[in-house]
Structure 1
Amino acid sequence: MKTSSTFSILFWVDFSRVKNNQASLYARITVNGKRAVISLKRKILISGWDVHKNRAKGTSQKSRILNSYLDETYNHLFQCYRDLKAENKLITAQAVKARFLRVDDAHRSVTDIIAYHNEDMRGKLKWGTQKNYFTTQKYVSKFLLKTYKSSDMYLSELDYDFIIKFEKFLRSYVPEDHQQRMGNNTVMKHIARFRKLINLSLKLGWIQRDPFINFESKYNKTERGFLRLDELQAIEEKSFATTRLQLVKDLI
């Protein structure tokens, strides 16, 4: 059964905290009698506020700019309310405020799911697995900076094109500690780990569609052979400048 809700927006000045004859501006959202307040990060002279119109007095440039900002804020808040209604979400004053401030699930980002995963998996995953996730996350960050000139993106912005571009980035990326590009299976493993982060986002309800839905992972079959005695001897006598390779040698 659908229920209607009452919704109102009011701009007001907090006259209880006046400093240098100025007071802060706020927006008050009311849904079904429940309120939420948003600081507009603006101040106004107490003599310049019209308490009846809830707008700045006069027609000076400063007043017109402030009133224009208030009109834009009103429209934005009302659109947030309409969007929540269209999405069949529970509409509360706090929900409208969260949507306006972009802190609700609709505005969760890539770094949000990475942070959530790292915290949730702490103590659950072995260090080696955690380290692999950290490496994948590092490549995601590098990819965002190079391709989108941004340190983050909303999860809702991710699509099939994003996944394809990420795969291409991984295949062309040359790691800093050596000059060899990643092999196909290494690329697929990084994508698989990122895919798990996206699946977690879906389970949490942070996104509504899966950007991986049309993506197919393709691994190359590999058969590991055994080293000959002379090959083992050559490795034993070899000294590597790279710490990572030297460690691998010591494990053989």
Structure 2
Amino acid sequence: MKTNFSLLFYVKRPKNQQKKIVPVYVRITVSGQRSETTTGVNCDLDRWNPKTGRQIGSKEEVKIFNAYLDNLQSEIYKAHKNLSESSEEITAESIRCKWLGIEKEIHTVMEAVMLHNQNMEALIGNGYAIGTLKRFQVLERHVLAFLEKKYCTKDMNIKKINRPFINDFEFFLRTENKCSGNTAAKYLKNFGKILRITLASGWIDKDPMFGYKINMKPVERPFLSNEELNILARKKFSTERLSQVRDIFLFCCLTGLAYSDVEKLSLSNIQIGIDGSSWIYTNRTKTGVRSAVPLLPSAVVILDRYQDNAYCINKGRVLPVSSNQKMNEYLKEIAILCGIEKHLSSHIARHTFATTVTLLNGVPIESVSKMLGHTNIKTTQIYAKVLDIKVSADMALLKEKFSILQ
């Protein structure tokens, strides 16, 4: 590996010192970056030649002194050669450490990812949700697979990450792992977060993803219409499990609760609100933001249906919520039985609350954002963008007003 490497011996007079006997230092320079250290010897200023970096004279003591510096120079060049042959990173500091026999601490890519995930796992419930951790754990598996595929190794020095590494990793995600553009972008965003942490910790000197453009395409968020909600509500199922899943899904449609929030919902979360009716007061599992939602009559009917349910009584919950995997599996079955072609999932209920139940019925977006527990109203505005029906209804009033001009 070719590097712009140079070596210089020089003398340095300490401040406020008039003595002519001064210490000799060595400066190693690689690509403009310097590393300096003392040689352990002193020299008379009158005998020092700054051009040659040696003492002037033919006395035996001068020859011994210059031979000592020659030997140091040879050792430093040998350290540079050893680094080159081992394909290690060559910097002024790494050459100095190699020469002095100092073991420089090397941090690796997988070390950074795993340390981040371990710290996040310790903070579950205290700033992070389990779903966030799972996404970073998947990222950990993707990074390991990429290193094995591209570099035939299970780990590598984190300082070797550069722009080509990032480009190749994105290509790997989209080809080998069959990730969509948005999914690959999310993994890159999460990986960038880890790299910035290592930068702050001094593991790397610069952020290899600085200025890297991550493209996210807008995604249309599906939701159920009033007609589809009515079909679900009126459908009679032959099994209790499907009826329960349907009820829980409808309850989420009427309250905007995510799966993780409805799964832990207890009677203590149901309280009398400012208007004298029942409200749900809870902190969102994902963000910890407080959410307050007035219960609609249909939602109260669903809660009453399960007040004597054995599972709810034993677990202290208001609804018999099964695992998210089973919920989504049963919802697919329910969609087929109801003739709904949309891909039902526990999260589509939250979208339905934001659109069909609230925004389409004139509820101000600020109130919707508050009920959903969003930390930023811009997140809520994503739902408002898809409501062509609401735009049509709003413009109908304007059309009527300006009809007199015709």
TM-score w.r.t. length of structure 2: 0.35
Between the aligned partners of 1:193 and 1:157, the Cα distance in structure 2 is 19
Matched, 1:189 2:191: no
Note the C-alpha offset of 1:186: 1.2
SS, match of residue 97 in structure 1: coil
Greater RCO (Cα-Cα under 8 Å, separation 6 or more): 1
Long gaps (5+) in structure 2: 1-11, 15-22, 27-38, 41-73, 84-88, 236-241, 244-322, 331-344, 347-406
Structure 2 residue 136 is the aligned partner of structure 1 residue 133: yes
Q: 1:200 matched to which residue of 2? A: 197
Give the AA of the match of 1:156. Answer: K
Q: Provide, for residues 209-232 of structure 1, a one-character-per-residue CA deviation record: whole Å limited to 9, x for no partner.
A: 221123111111112122335799
**Do the aligned partners of residues 165 and 72 (structure 1) sit closer, same or farther apart at CA in structure 2, a change above 3 Å counting?**
same
Paired with 1:165 and 1:246, the residues of 2 have a C-alpha distance of 36
Could you tell me which residue of structure 1 aligns to residue 113 of structure 2?
Answer: 114
Q: Is the 8 A contact 2:109 2:157 kept in 1?
A: yes
TM-fit CA distance, 1:182: 2.2
Total equivalences in the alignment: 172
Alignment correspondent of 1:63: none
TM-superposition CA deviations, 1:138-195 (whole Å, max 9, x none) = 0000011011111111111111111111111111134xxxxxx322211111111111
- Percent identical pairs in the alignment equals 24
Letter in 2 for 1:187: A
Distance 1:217 1:6, change over 3 A: same
- The change in CA–CA distance for 1:2 and 1:118 in structure 2 (over 3 A counts) is farther
Q: Choose from 218, 223, 246 the match for 2:220.
A: 223
Q: Partner letter of residue 196 of structure 1?
A: K
Task: Report the secondary structure of 2:102's partner residue.
Answer: helix
- 1:25-174 equivalences under 5 Å are 75-76=78-79, 86-87=92-93, 96-99=101-104, 104=105, 107-124=106-123, 125-174=128-177
Pair 1:209-2:196 in alignment: no
Residue 108 and residue 219 in structure 1: after superposition, are their counterparts in 2 closer, same or farther (change >3 A)? same
Q: Retained in 1: the 8 A contact 2:182–2:217?
A: yes
CA–CA distance in structure 2, aligned partners of residues 116 and 5 of structure 1: 42
The two structures have a TM-score, normalised by structure 1, of 0.53
1:93-125 Cα deviation digits (max 9, x unpaired): 9x84222xxxx1xx2110221232133333223
Partner of 2:329: 249
- 1:85–1:77 CA distance, 2 compared to 1 (3 A): closer
Partner of 2:247: none
Describe the shift of the 1:79–1:151 C-alpha distance in structure 2 as closer, same or farther (beyond 3 A): closer
User: Which runs of 5 or more structure 1 residues have no equivalent in the other structure?
Assistant: 8-30, 33-70, 175-180, 238-242
- Note the C-alpha offset of 1:248: 2.3
| Structure 2 CA distance for aligned equivalents of residues 248 and 88 of structure 1 | 54
The 1-side partners of 2:180 and 2:142 are apart by: 15
Task: Note closer, same or farther for the CA distance 1:92–1:222 as it changes in structure 2 (3 Å cut).
Answer: closer
Q: Distance in 1 between matches of 2:211 and 2:122?
A: 33
- Structure 1: which amino acid aligns with 2:189? A
Classify the secondary structure of the residue corresponding to 1:190.
Answer: helix
- Give the superposed CA RMSD: 4.4
Judged with a 3 Å threshold, the aligned counterparts in structure 2 of structure 1 residues 221 and 5 are, in CA distance, closer, same or farther, namely farther
Q: Highest Rg: 1 or 2?
A: 2
Work out whether residues 160 and 214 of structure 1, in 8 Å CA contact, stay in contact via their aligned partners in 2: no
Please state how far the C-alpha of 1:76 moved relative to its aligned partner: 3.2
Determine the structure 1 residue equivalent to 2:58.
none
Q: Which consecutive segments of 4 or more residues in structure 1 shift more than 4 A?
A: 1-7, 71-74, 77-80, 229-233, 243-247
- Sort the Cα spacing of 1:84 and 1:182 in 2 relative to 1 into closer, same or farther, 3 A: closer
Which amino acid is 1:211 matched to? P
Kept after mapping to 2: 8 A contact 1:143/1:166: yes
